[in-house]
Amino acid sequence: MTTFASMIWQDWTNFLLGLWLWSSPWTLGYSEHGAATLNAVAFGLALMVFSLMELQVRAIWEEWVNMLCGLWLVLAPFALGFTTQFHAAANSMLIGALAAMLAAWAMSLDKEIDRWWHDHVAGH
């Protein structure tokens, strides 16, 4: 079980980050760049969907998905070759870093993960 009250703002913030990312190709003017646009739309939608799912289902796996999406977004400009598109690359990396950090923060508040970490990793 997660500490739901403290996680709600992280989930809503990740939803808003996803909404921004989804709309950013048109807002920032890089919609003519196919890979960057497809990446922003797909992963913006993913962040929105999994953040909303986390608000409803309250399972930790949605936070893992948001973290992985965030990490992908940081790497995407390099992997998909749009590093020369400043707005697209900077936006992807910034939103990705924020989404991953928020997901990690939400997971750090989860008592089951904390217990598992101390039992298996920290050696307590």
Per-domain residue ranges for the chain?
A: 4-120
Task: State the pLDDT confidence band at 4, using cuts at 50, 70 and 90.
Answer: very low
What is this structure's pTM?
0.80
> Can you give the pLDDT at residue 29?
95
Write the pLDDT tens digit of every residue in 25-70.
999 999 999 999 999 999 999 999 988 887 676 666 777 888 999 9
For residues 88 and 30, the answer to whether their CB atoms sit within 8 Å is yes
Task: State the pLDDT confidence band at 96, using cuts at 50, 70 and 90.
Answer: very high
- Helix, strand, coil percentages (3-state) for the chain, rounded to 5, are 80, 0, 20
For residues 33 and 81, the answer to whether their CB atoms sit within 8 Å is no
Distances (CA, A) of 89 to 34, 53, 76, 104: 13, 27, 8, 22
> Can you give the pLDDT at residue 66?
86
Distance (Å, whole) CA 3 – CA 112: 10
Report whether pLDDT(114) > 60. Answer: no
Distance (Å, whole) CA 99 – CA 22: 14
